[in-house]
Amino acid sequence: MSSQRGVASNSQVNELSSGEQKYASSSREGVVSAVCRHLLVATGKRAVVRRDDISQYVGKCFKTNDVLKEASARLEEVFGLKIVELSTESKNGKGSVNALSSQAGPSRSKSSTVNRVYILINTLTTDEEDDWKDDDECSFWGVLTVVIALLFVSPNTRLSEEKIEKLLKSLYSLGLHQERAFQGSSGKFTLLQDLVKMWYLRKEQVEDEIFYTLGPRIFKELSSDGIIVALEKLLQVKLEADYRELLLKQWESMSSSV
């Protein structure tokens, strides 16, 4: 997985030329187009876009919420994509594991501020064959699904960093993902860091141990039925109706609180 994925900034994703900046600052159409372009490029990297980045395009002439609403309508009409806002408390105390920065995802510690970012989700129904475009995509979503499914059924829906890293190593030994895609130059797994930057996971520290929990993005991209299907495929069993209903209610409850 590329280290570029995570939070997309103007310079990383789609820095406007001076001519484009001038056009965008003087025209509502230019602002909306610039925001759409920024979000599309970020989506290609599976990155999230910060509200501050959007505000830089908007400036003082227009309202950010109005521009986002118009951009979302245009993207949905043309591409079948909708802008979704993710927000969470970002903790910035001394005990912070992942303090707010240009690459930070949701985290928990002492003092807090509200952190808002945006992603695009697909509103169209596609054939299953179209969902897996290449080996990297298949590998990423396969590993992510395993991690999310196990987190969901774990006590307090969280797992320690040590346990998840053991899981990833097991998947590698089985040939289910490419090691190079999930390790940095130091040999340490970077997948967990990337998933936090993408808001799929939340990282928190309890005393001297690091844990991961479900991040807000996963509830926007995976439905309750989707998580049940993932669990049944992972466990290779058909869940009993009562347990299935319990899990559905749990997922819906967690999703509604995001």
- 96 touches 102 (CB < 8 A): no
Q: Are strands 158-160 and 7-8 parallel, antiparallel or unpaired?
A: unpaired
Q: What is the mean pLDDT of residues 131-157?
A: 76
Provide the domain count of the chain. 2
Return the pLDDT at 2: 41
Exposure string (b/e) for 46-77, b if CB count within 10 Å is 16 or more? bbbbbbebbebbbeeebebeebbebbbebbbe
Q: Are residues 69 and 183 in the same domain?
A: no
Boundary-marking domain end, from 63, 97, 122: 122
- Higher pLDDT among residues 183 and 239, named by residue: 239
pLDDT > 70 in the chain, percent: 66
Position 15 in a domain: yes
Report d(CA 54, CA 64) in Å as an integer.
7
Q: What is the mean pLDDT of residues 131-159?
A: 77
Q: Are residues 228 and 157 in the same domain?
A: yes
Residue 70 pLDDT greater than 90, yes or no: yes
Residue type, 74: R
How do residues 103-126 score in pLDDT, each as one tens digit? 455 655 444 566 889 999 988 765
| Structural domain of 179 | 128-256
From 41-50, 181-190, 217-226, the region with the lowest mean pLDDT: 181-190
Return the pLDDT at 102: 34
Q: Are residues 45 and 148 in the same domain?
A: no
Position 244 in a domain: yes
Position 11 in a domain: yes
Neighbouring CB atoms inside 10 A of 174's CB total 8
Q: How far is CA 130 from CA 5, 10, 102, 107, in A?
A: 22, 30, 32, 33
Q: Got the DSSP string for 167-185? A: HHHHHHHTTSS-GGGGB-T
Report d(CA 206, CA 200) in Å as an integer.
20
| Residue 233, beta-bridge partner list | none
Position 207 in a domain: yes
How do residues 165-189 score in pLDDT, each as one tens digit? 888 877 766 555 554 445 544 445 5
Return the pLDDT at 22: 45
Boundary-marking domain end, from 122, 143, 171: 122
Claim: this prediction has a pTM higher than 0.85: no
CATH code, 32: 1.10.10.1200
